[in-house]
Amino acid sequence: MGTRVLVLAVLLCTMGAAQTGMSKAKKYQAKAAPDKSIPVYEIDLSEDSDYQPLPWPKEMQGDFVENDCIGDGNVYVFMSDSGLVGLTPKGVVSFLSDKMTDISNPNVNSFWAGHPVISASGVFFGVSGVDETKVETVTRADDEGREHVTRDTKNATLNYIAQFAKDGAYRGAVRADGLPFLIDEFAAFDSGNLIAAGLDWNGVKHTALLDAGAQFLRYIDLGKGITAEPPGSDPIFGRVFMPWQSKMLVLLKRAGKPQMYEIQESGDVSVVNIKPPEGYELGELAPTDKNWLVRFNRPDSKGGRPDAFDSLLEVDPENGEPLREYRMKPPDKFPETVISCFFGGEFWGLRQDVKEGKLKVVRGTAAPYRGEINNPQGRTGDTAR
């Protein structure tokens, strides 16, 4: 992966109530966005010495740091080729593929594995393995007549969902091959039951509920499905599912308009139409226990549009109205610092210490921005309430 700037990541929460009925989603029509400026807040982050830093080699500095947190006091860093680690008040905890002793040749970076899943019930990975009894040995001769033996695993690949306890203890893997569709993306409810999306063998997209053993329970009707790609029906950015208080949130663009889907473990669904300010391009949701927080991109004062979704928009879960805009206080800016989530009245994140070669946990709060901004200041209020 080439050097890229760090991007902002923070989660979402929802307060829209879900109603009964799996196939019919109640739509809460959002009011028009207020015709005035959105107040701008600035996030001030400081290093937390209670957390042991994570060694971060020079060759990884400046690269995209994928991370997550769910309000359990830990910040998780994804190690794409081996799993992830958690930065905790008790030290660094690992969730790595070398612990998956019940899977032959575990690969957590396979095409279907998607985003590692962190929930109150544990840490989950989509993992591919190999059935050694089905591996075919192929012998080929080169132009000079020399023979070369290779392993063909095309018909020997097995798919699993592997689970860890929050303390890093490995709980084991369950097969995910007996489903009526192939999982592209999944997440875990607090109970351990799963929600998953993917294609069936006829290329039809589905969203479904699974039990904790990855056994199929039932489909969920989200219109054309969250993995569908007909015109105007696409996931907005990044991973599909975002857990929040025993529910799942999905941010979709339907007919060019963003909509937030709130899915209960029962399969009940509610929808809120989001009303972003003109010119704001919404990105990925970020973990939070309050109002929704969504990364966004917008043109600068000269009309140019930055490459990164490096600011946050707070959105009212009840009606989809924008409430506040957040930016990091200098020097807490990319690529040195990335925000991970907002929980317990604080923003949490990671900072690259280039000199020491480490990643460090940072925490802080936000206050109304006092400097000059491109548009006049509007209403003010409490931070991410």
pLDDT per position in the chain (385 positions), as tens? Answer: 333 333 333 333 333 333 333 333 434 334 444 345 889 999 999 999 999 999 988 777 766 678 899 999 999 998 877 889 999 999 999 999 999 999 998 988 765 556 789 999 999 999 999 888 888 888 888 888 888 888 777 788 899 999 999 999 999 999 998 899 989 889 999 999 999 988 888 888 889 999 999 999 999 887 655 543 333 345 555 678 888 878 899 998 877 789 999 999 999 999 999 999 888 888 889 999 999 999 888 777 676 666 667 789 999 999 999 999 998 877 656 557 888 999 999 999 999 888 888 999 999 999 998 875 444 333 344 567 6
Task: Report d(CA 236, CA 210) in Å as an integer.
Answer: 24
For residue 269, give the CATH number of its domain.
2.120.10
Task: Report d(CA 206, CA 225) in Å as an integer.
Answer: 6
pLDDT number for residue 146: 86
Is residue 255 included in any domain, yes or no?
yes
CB atoms within 10 A of CB 183: 23
pLDDT number for residue 184: 87
Is residue 4 included in any domain, yes or no?
no
The domain in which residue 331 lies consists of 26-368
Is residue 12 included in any domain, yes or no?
no
Is residue 191 included in any domain, yes or no?
yes
Is residue 3 included in any domain, yes or no?
no
Task: Report d(CA 84, CA 161) in Å as an integer.
Answer: 15
Is residue 2 included in any domain, yes or no?
no
Task: Report d(CA 72, CA 50) in Å as an integer.
Answer: 15
pLDDT number for residue 226: 54
Number of domains in the chain: 1
pLDDT number for residue 214: 94
Is residue 309 included in any domain, yes or no?
yes
Is residue 9 included in any domain, yes or no?
no
pTM of the model: 0.78
Task: Report d(CA 82, CA 23) in Å as an integer.
Answer: 39
